[in-house]
Amino acid sequence: MENATQFELRLADRMSRLGTETAFEVLNRARQLEREGKEIVHLEIGEPDFATPANIVEAAVDALHKGWTHYGPSAGLPELRQTIATYVSETRGVPVSSDEVVVVPGGKPIIFFSILALVDPGDEVIYPNPGFPIYESMINYVGGRAVPIQLREERDFSLNVDELATRITDRTKLIIINSPQNPTGGVLQRKEIEGIARAVADRNIFVLSDEIYSRLIFEGEHFSIMSVPGFKERTILLDGFSKTYAMTGWRMGYGAMRPDLAAQITRLMTNSNSCTASFTQVAGVEALRGEQASVTEMCGEFKKRRDVFVAGLNEIRGFSCRMPKGAFYTFPNIRKTGWPSKKLATALLEEAGVACLAGTAFGEFGEGYLRFSVANSLENLQKALGRIGEWTEKNL
Ligand SMILES: Cc1ncc(COP(=O)(O)O)c(C=O)c1O
């Protein structure tokens, strides 16, 4: 083994441009502190704390017994593709057929594959900042030019359409939007989405619409750019099972897009994963067709927790927090503490035993904010509030 070190690791250049998702690093540090005997409240990771609904688990177990343990088609099992096509048609109000659906292991691969398939070096991609860090990471990875559009607190973290219009150039290949939004909980209203559509007008630009939190919305209704006349052909809809059905570890999501692009994304699936696990796809059919009460329950529970947590944050010295309209995150402004986001997040973890993320984990415009997930019990959320309150009283 010693000999192995005499060979320099000569990575491809592109690896230096690849970013990361800090949530996993913070989780690792929190686990290390736990091993050292500290007790941590976990508000860093973006996943529902509920169990996957029993009907879905049973469908998977049954599928395993029935032998759904082999390769399937790269684009997904025909029955699941059809079920998703029907679901997307009903929820977005535009007809979508099964050849316009590609099933992949999680929502993330749709980001990865769309950018790989569409963006050449030098092409510009407009993306939300603060936003899910994988957008910027992937744009940079393929040599594209990442063009941030700042989401501002005073606009409730929605997107300023006039600002977007000024960012669009002849090199713009792709615009990424995300609603409900990670990390801010912002939701794009129908009029804003229509404004985005007007700004794009008849240009040959794709919109990657990340709607992974579409069922976790507390006020108003979800609206997709795919529903805007003329946009179905230019929209890549990203949605999935992770957040809606508490299935983050199952790894299953999908994209809906025009069939010629779907065929290209399928080629990327063939070259990378071969297919999404077959028995999970059988369970995916049950998830979409079966009882939906658990989704409503989970959403109601997140709303309750959001209300309690936001009220509590607003009591803490130096913190102020808007009411997020969707997803399960709160994104308080912490500028009045005088601390930079990263330093404050680290201190809260190391000294107060509360794991959260710095706003800067979501891009440069996240400075001055922290992200707390409310995907934890009310009891733990109260405990976190108590600890942060005590810490700020002592240290600020
Ligand atoms: C905005 C956004 N898009 C996509 C994903 C990826 O979801 P999945 O776990 O299904 O890959 C996440 C997960 O945190 C997310 O927050």
CA of 47 to the centre of ligand 1 (A): 9
Check residue 200 and give left, alpha or beta (phi > 0: left; psi -120 to 50: alpha). alpha
| Ligand 1 close to Cβ of residue 362 (< 6 A) | no
3-state secondary structure of 233: helix
Query: 208 and 196 in contact (C-beta within 8 Å)?
Result: no
Question: According to the model, what pLDDT value does residue 4 have?
Answer: 64
Relative to beta strand 206-210, strand 235-240 is parallel
Q: How far apart are CA 251 and CA 328, in angstroms?
A: 19
CA of 108 to the centre of ligand 1 (A): 6
Site to substitute for ligand 1 among 110, 212, 244, 273, most atoms within 8 A of C-beta:
212
Site to substitute for ligand 1 among 52, 104, 132, most atoms within 8 A of C-beta:
132
| Ligand 1 close to Cβ of residue 212 (< 6 A) | yes
User: Which two three-digit tokens encode residue 233?
Assistant: 């052909």
Which residues contact residue 315 at a Cβ distance below 8 angstroms, ignoring those fewer than 6 apart? 385, 389
Question: According to the model, what pLDDT value does residue 220 have?
Answer: 87
Which residues contact residue 142 at a Cβ distance below 8 angstroms, ignoring those fewer than 6 apart? 14, 115, 116, 119, 120, 121
CA of 210 to the centre of ligand 1 (A): 8
Apex 151 CA angle, 150 and 155, nearest 5 = 130
pLDDT tens digits, one per residue of 347-369: 999 999 999 999 999 999 999 99
Within 10 angstroms of residue 89's Cβ, the number of other Cβ atoms is: 15
Residue 208 β-bridge partners: 176, 236
Q: Which amino acid is at 271?
A: N
Distances (CA, A) of 234 to 15, 86, 88, 174: 30, 19, 16, 10
CA of 21 to the centre of ligand 1 (A): 11
3-state secondary structure of 328: coil
User: DSSP secondary-structure letter at 148?
Assistant: E
Cis peptide before 95 (omega within 30 of 0): no
Cis peptide before 183 (omega within 30 of 0): yes
Within 10 angstroms of residue 21's Cβ, the number of other Cβ atoms is: 17
Question: Nearest to residue 225, comparing CAs of 163, 176, 183, 264?
Answer: 176
Chain center to CA of 361: 13
Query: 169 and 203 in contact (C-beta within 8 Å)?
Result: no
| Ligand 1 close to Cβ of residue 104 (< 6 A) | no
3-state secondary structure of 385: helix
Query: 337 and 344 in contact (C-beta within 8 Å)?
Result: yes
| Ligand 1 close to Cβ of residue 239 (< 6 A) | no
CA of 134 to the centre of ligand 1 (A): 9
pLDDT per residue of the chain (396 residues) written in tens, 0 to 9: 555 678 999 999 999 999 998 888 999 999 999 999 999 999 998 889 999 999 999 999 999 999 999 999 999 999 999 999 999 999 999 999 999 999 999 999 999 999 999 999 999 999 999 999 999 999 999 999 999 999 999 999 999 999 999 999 999 999 999 999 999 999 999 999 999 999 999 999 999 999 999 999 998 899 999 999 999 999 999 999 999 999 999 999 999 999 999 999 999 999 999 999 999 999 999 999 999 999 999 999 999 999 999 999 999 999 999 999 999 999 999 999 999 999 999 999 999 999 999 999 999 999 999 999 999 999 999 999 999 999 999 999
b/e 247-275 (16+ beta carbons within 10 angstroms → b): bbebbbbbbbbbeebbebbbebbeeeeeb
User: Which two three-digit tokens encode residue 75?
Assistant: 């684009």
